[in-house]
Homo-oligomer: A and B are copies of this chain.
Amino acid sequence: VEAAARDLGYAGPSPKGRLLMGGKVHAIGFIPAGEMSVESLMRSPYLREVFTGVAQVCDERGANLLVVSGVTRRKDWAIANALVDGFILGHVEEIGLVSVRRKQVPYVVLEHDAGPDVASVRVDGRKGACLAARHLLELGHRKFAIVSVRRRRGEPIWHGAGLATGQLHAGYPLDHEKLAGYLEALAEAGINASDVPVVEAFPPSPYAEAGARMLFDAAPDVTAILAMSDKNAIAVLTVANERGTRVPEDVSVVGFDGVAEAARSSPPLTTIAQPLAEKGILAARMLFDGGPVRQIVQPVTLVVRHSTSPPRR
């Protein structure tokens, strides 16, 4: 019998049939945020570390890992076509969410608490931002600027000075949280939001550098820069170096994320570290293990390196 099967070229049980009966696919899908397609997943150090955590769990469980491709328009159809047991969403995104919901498959959202009905893993952006701002305030800084994360490819957006919470042009909830955290800490020290310029810059090069240049051009007297991502902060270091502005002597910079590159930049970056791989691990485990829907908040910590010091007198 077996010989006959082999003669006919039978290739062993196909997962296709099994699948149909509601069986497991033994794969989970990862949906990078925004315009972050599969390619930019590889280029973003932040996403890469989270993804590595997810991958680690997949290796443990012998599951395959599907990366959902495509820019916003196509992503919807890519999700519809994805054959997976569950999804990890890089951020909240309406289109993604809707599509995932329609598939009636479990999912976990990163970086956003979407209420008690949806599983999520995130950090407290507000708290992290407070830590960053307070660190600079304690060093004696009074002239601040903020580099926010623009979420779509494009030129930086300049807000001059005086951006109220919630007025970010292109941000995710996490970005609004961080902005609120910065402004809250500054307000406690008597610094008004209307005195703090904000630039929104897309983190991949060369957009982040363009944002940093815009900031140095428009607000040359700033001594303390709060960046919402390490990638943007490192771009500030690069541009400062180009122009002969010394860090931390002339200007202090604090990043956010605690990406590996932040430890190797020159000078090494003071930043708000979060457990990136760990977040991927937790999200993947929630997906594999099922269980009750939970909202996990991971800790943030201030890591002081060499990009911050007291302002020049």
Task: Give me the interface of A with B, judged by CB distance under 8 Å.
Answer: 9, 11-13, 15-17, 19-20, 25-27, 29, 37-39, 41-43, 48, 51-52, 55-56, 58-59, 62-71, 74, 77-78, 80-83, 102-104
Contact of A64 among B9, B39, B43, B66 (CB under 8 A): B66
16 other A-B residue contacts (CB within 8 Å) besides A16-B16, A27-B82: A11-B102, A15-B80, A15-B81, A15-B82, A16-B20, A19-B19, A26-B78, A26-B81, A29-B64, A42-B51, A58-B67, A62-B69, A62-B70, A63-B78, A65-B66, A67-B67
Please determine whether B20 and A17 come into contact, CB atoms closer than 8 angstroms: yes
Please name all residues of chain B whose beta carbon is closer than 8 Å to the beta carbon of A67 when the two chains form the complex: 55, 58, 64-67
In the docked arrangement, what's the CA distance between A59 and B63, Å? 23
A269 to chain B, nearest CB (A): 16
Contact of A42 among B11, B48, B64, B69 (CB under 8 A): B48
A182 to chain B, nearest CB (A): 31
Known pairs A19-B19, A64-B66, A78-B26; A37 contacts B12 (CB<8 A):
no
Please name all residues of chain B whose beta carbon is closer than 8 Å to the beta carbon of A66 when the two chains form the complex: 27, 64-67
Number of copies of this kind of chain in the complex: 2
Known pairs A64-B66, A78-B62; A19 contacts B55 (CB<8 A):
no
Known pairs A11-B103, A20-B16; A59 contacts B81 (CB<8 A):
no
Please name all residues of chain B whose beta carbon is closer than 8 Å to the beta carbon of A63 when the two chains form the complex: 69, 78
Please name all residues of chain B whose beta carbon is closer than 8 Å to the beta carbon of A81 when the two chains form the complex: 15, 25-27, 64
Please determine whether A42 and B52 come into contact, CB atoms closer than 8 angstroms: yes
In the docked arrangement, what's the CA distance between A273 and B70, Å? 30
A279 to chain B, nearest CB (A): 15
In the docked arrangement, what's the CA distance between A142 and B30, Å? 51
Please name all residues of chain B whose beta carbon is closer than 8 Å to the beta carbon of A27 when the two chains form the complex: 66, 81-83
A310 to chain B, nearest CB (A): 31
Please determine whether B65 and A11 come into contact, CB atoms closer than 8 angstroms: no
Q: Which residue of B lies closest to A19 (CB)?
A: B16
Please determine whether A77 and B62 come into contact, CB atoms closer than 8 angstroms: yes
Known pairs A52-B39, A63-B69, A64-B78; A104 contacts B16 (CB<8 A):
no
Known pairs A66-B66, A83-B25; A43 contacts B52 (CB<8 A):
yes
List 11 A–B pairs whose Cβ atoms lie within 8 Å, in order of A's numbering.
A11-B102, A11-B104, A15-B82, A16-B16, A27-B66, A29-B64, A38-B65, A39-B59, A63-B78, A64-B68, A64-B82
